[in-house]
Structure 1
Amino acid sequence: MGAVPASAPGGTALRIVARVHLMPPQHNAGAEHMLVSMLRPLVERGHDVQVWLSRYGKATEPYTYRGIQVVPLEARLDFPSAARRADVLLSHLECVPSTSALARGYGRPLVVLCHNTHRPTFRDMASGGTALAVYNSQWMEREADLFFAEYPKSVRPAESLIVRPPVFADEYATKPGKAITLVNCNAEKGGRVFAELARRMPDQQFLAVKGAYGEQILPDLPNVTVVDHVDGAGMREAVYARTRVLLMPSSYESWGRAGVEALASGIPVVAHPTPGLCESLGEAGVFVDRNDIDGYEAVLRKLAVPAEYRLASKRAKARSAELDPTADLAAWCDAVEALA
Structure 2
Amino acid sequence: MRILIVTDAWKPQVNGVVTTLERLAESLARMGVETEFLTPEGFRTVPLPGYGEIRIALATPAQVARRIDAAGADRVHIATEGPLGLMARRACLAAGRPFTTSYHTRFPEFLRARLPVPEAWTYRWLRRFHNAGNAMLVATPSLAEELSGRGFANIRLWSRGVDMSQFHPEHRVDLGLARPVFLCVGRVAVEKNLPAFLDLDLPGTKVVVGDGPALPQLKARYPQVVFMGQRRGAELAAVFASADVFVFPSRTDTFGNVIIEALASGTPVAAFPVTGPRDILGGGGGVLGDDLRQAALDALAVPREAARERARAYDWGECASRFLIHVKRAALDHAAKRSAT
**Normalising by structure 2, what TM-score?**
0.72
Q: In structure 2, what is the equivalent of residue 189 of structure 1?
A: 192
Mapped partners of 1:113, 1:235: distance in 2: 30
Q: In structure 2, what is the equivalent of residue 168 of structure 1?
A: 163
- Give the C-alpha shift of residue 78 in structure 1: 4.1
Q: In structure 1, what is the equivalent of residue 150 of structure 2?
A: 147
1:235–1:172 Cα change, 3 Å: farther
Q: How does 1:264-279 map to 2 (within 5 A)?
A: 264-279=264-279
- Give the C-alpha shift of residue 102 in structure 1: 0.8
- Give the C-alpha shift of residue 328 in structure 1: 3.7
1:125–1:302 Cα change, 3 Å: closer
Mapped partners of 1:270, 1:49: distance in 2: 36
Q: In structure 2, what is the equivalent of residue 137 of structure 1?
A: 140
- Give the C-alpha shift of residue 20 in structure 1: 1.4
SS in 2 for 1:273: coil
- Give the C-alpha shift of residue 335 in structure 1: 3.4
1:73–1:314 Cα change, 3 Å: same
Mapped partners of 2:67, 2:164: distance in 1: 34
Which residues of structure 1 form unaligned runs of 5+?
Answer: 1-12, 59-71, 150-155
Q: In structure 1, what is the equivalent of residue 96 of structure 2?
A: 107
- Give the C-alpha shift of residue 27 in structure 1: 0.6
Q: In structure 2, what is the equivalent of residue 28 of structure 1?
A: 14
CA contact under 8 A between 2:264 and 2:308: conserved in structure 1? Answer: yes
Q: In structure 2, what is the equivalent of residue 253 of structure 1?
A: 253
CA contact under 8 A between 1:80 and 1:102: conserved in structure 2? Answer: yes
One-letter amino acid of the counterpart of residue 90, structure 2:
A
- Give the C-alpha shift of residue 131 in structure 1: 2.3
SS in 2 for 1:237: helix
CA contact under 8 A between 1:86 and 1:108: conserved in structure 2? Answer: no
1:168–1:284 Cα change, 3 Å: same
The answer on 1:336 being equivalent to 2:327 is: yes
**Normalising by structure 1, what TM-score?**
0.72
Q: In structure 2, what is the equivalent of residue 215 of structure 1?
A: 214
Q: 1:82 aligns with which of 67, 81, 91?
A: 67
- Give the C-alpha shift of residue 174 in structure 1: 3.2
- Aligned residue pairs total 288
Q: 2:4 aligns with which of 3, 17, 24?
A: 17
Q: In structure 2, what is the equivalent of residue 50 of structure 1?
A: 36
- Give the C-alpha shift of residue 172 in structure 1: 1.5
Identity of aligned residues (%): 19
The answer on 1:122 being equivalent to 2:127 is: yes
CA contact under 8 A between 1:248 and 1:270: conserved in structure 2? Answer: yes
Which residues of structure 2 form unaligned runs of 5+?
Answer: 48-55, 109-122, 176-180, 333-341
Mapped partners of 2:303, 2:46: distance in 1: 41
CA contact under 8 A between 2:166 and 2:234: conserved in structure 1? Answer: no
CA contact under 8 A between 1:266 and 1:317: conserved in structure 2? Answer: yes
CA RMSD in angstroms comes to 3.2
Moved segments of 4+, more than 6 Å: 74-77
